Amino acid sequence: MLGVFVFLVLMTLFSIVFERKVVGRMQNRIGPNRTGPWGVLQSLADGVKLAFKEEIIPVLADKPVYFLAPIISATPAFLAFSVIPFGPEVSMFGHRTPLQLTDLPVGVLVVFACSSLGVYGVVLSGWASGSTYPLLGSLRSAAQMVSYEVAMGLSMVAVFLFSGTMSTSGIVAKQNHLWNVIPLVVSFIIYFISVVGETNRAPFDLAEAESELVGGFHTEYSSFKFAMFFLAEYINMVTVSALATTLFLGGWRAPFPLSLWHGANSGWYPMIWFTAKVIAGIFVFVWLRGTLPRLRYDQFMAFGWKVLIPINLVWILAVTAIRVLRDRGENAFVATGIPLAVVILLVVVPGLVVWEGARARRIADEADDDEDDAQLPRTYPVPPLDLHVPTPPRQLATAGVRRAPEQLESGELTERPRSGATEFREMSDD
């Protein structure tokens, strides 16, 4: 337990500096370079700063829920890592033990359940703050949970069918000769897109969009509670990267050139390969953040429900057909050609037809809107087209010019000498 906790805390500190360095490199900036050698202590300095900052609690906050929400967000993030295998059996203090806290027959479902519980912290934090914009951010996060966790769970179904088990250690053992990312590349792509939305990372960070919601669900949080939300976010990044490594990238097994060495998958070396794969997954998260702009909310939701889930369902049918045909002894061409044809007929062709129809309909709608705008009369007030601004009455009175009531329409001015009292009375009238 101590090893898992220390690993996650160190990976969080590393990920913060790593993200700033990588994004700085992509944007031709230096990045953190003052705190510690090469700026490696920048995340530690940020943590100390947040811990000692003044804490401000809103008056309208529901205090019990307000205090519990950051804890609910951070605790499942640590708990989900308990079923992730770091390596094979090793000798530790005279005992043979696997590098895994616990191994369950349904270990992947434990990670899935913990990721679902973490969203409740986001939803409750927005509701308990007593403010409008955090509430909107929490509602968006709830919608993301419903949308993208469905796609993430369906992407795991193909792995269960292919491996024949839900145990994380069993799935790693099944990838002894071939990693799942090769035969299940569609599931891998859908899984990674889904977890980006699940962890509220750019370009799917609609729950904390600064341009729309000020700061999202954590707007009313400060000090250490604010830090716990980002601790949970970075630990979730590490967790989903570790789960992707376990399900698709061979787990703790060495990659191809290193796997030729007999001792690469024994002892403590597999933990190095496992950590390197996790860092590669974190790099993809950072790469997306530094590259892609934020989506609109309607695009985000439509992508999850209309693209990811239908493709995932058809892909599960294709994987199931492959397994059934192979179990019946069909040849390789029939076992792979029929599901591929099903995918092309049910996904690619309808997708192209729908996309082309939507494109033609959008062009027609834009043409109709332009035609309607040209024919509609201007029933709304518009500013003067000559940009002529009339002189204010007070300025006219000060200059000794008086506008007569009968000359308001024509705009003619009458100038006459006035005494001080008359000027004061006329200015008062104006």
pLDDT in tens, 156-197: 998 998 888 889 999 998 888 888 888 888 889 999 999 888
Q: Are 188 and 315 spatial neighbours (Cβ–Cβ below 8 Å)?
A: no
Question: Where on the phi/psi map is residue 149: left (φ > 0), alpha (ψ -120 to 50), or beta?
Answer: alpha
Amino acid at 293: P
Amino acid at 61: A
Position 417 scores a pLDDT of 46
Task: Please give the pLDDT value at position 88.
Answer: 87
Angstrom distances, CA of residue 364 to CA of 166, 352, 372, 375 = 50, 18, 12, 17
Which residues lie across from 414 on neighbouring strands? 402
Which pair of tokens denotes residue 398? Answer: 């000060």
Question: Pick from 17, 19, 15, 141: which is nearest to 72 by CA?
Answer: 141
Copy the structure tokens of residue 48: 């100390």
Q: How far apart are CA 430 and CA 425, in angstroms?
A: 9
Residue 268 in 3-state DSSP? coil
Residue linked to tokens 């599901």? 339
- For residues 208 and 205, what is the distance between their CA atoms, to the nearest angstrom? 6
Please tell me the predicted confidence (pLDDT) of residue 340.
63
Contact 118, 77 (CB under 8 A): yes
For 389, phi then psi, to 5°, come to: -105, 120
pLDDT tens for residues 66-124? 888 888 888 888 888 889 998 888 888 888 888 888 888 888 888 888 888 877 888 88
Please list, residue by residue across 264-278, b when 16 or more beta carbons sit within 10 angstroms of its beta carbon and e when fewer do.
bbeeebbbebbbebb
- Which run of H or of E encompasses 190? helix 185-198
> Where are any strands of DSSP class E within 256-411?
401-402
Amino acid at 343: V
Where do the domains of the chain lie? Answer: 51-88+98-295
* Total residues found in the chain within this entry: 430
Mean per-residue pLDDT over the chain, rounded? 80
280-313 as b/e: b if 16+ CB within 10 A: ebbeebbebbeeeebbeeeebbebbeeebbebbe
pLDDT at 385: 63
In the chain, the N- to C-terminal Cα span, in Å, equals 82
d(CA 235, CA 81): 9
Cβ atoms of residues 72 and 121 within 8 Å: yes
Question: Other CB atoms closer than 10 Å to residue 217's CB: what's the count?
Answer: 30
Each of the 430 residues of the chain gets a pLDDT tens digit; together they read 888 999 998 999 899 999 999 999 998 888 888 888 888 888 889 888 888 888 888 888 888 888 888 888 888 888 888 899 988 888 888 888 888 888 888 888 888 888 888 778 888 888 888 888 888 878 877 788 778 888 888 899 989 988 888 899 999 988 888 888 888 888 899 999 998 888 878 788 777 776 666 777 778 888 888 888 888 888 888 999 999 999 999 888 888 888 778 778 888 888 999 999 999 999 999 999 888 888 888 888 888 888 888 888 888 888 888 778 777 776 655 555 655 656 665 666 566 656 666 776 777 677 666 665 555 555 556 666 666 666 777 777 666 655 555 554 454 444 444 444 444 445 555 5
| HSE, side-chain direction, 13 A CA sphere, residue 347 | 20
pTM: predicted TM-score of the whole model, two decimal places:
0.75
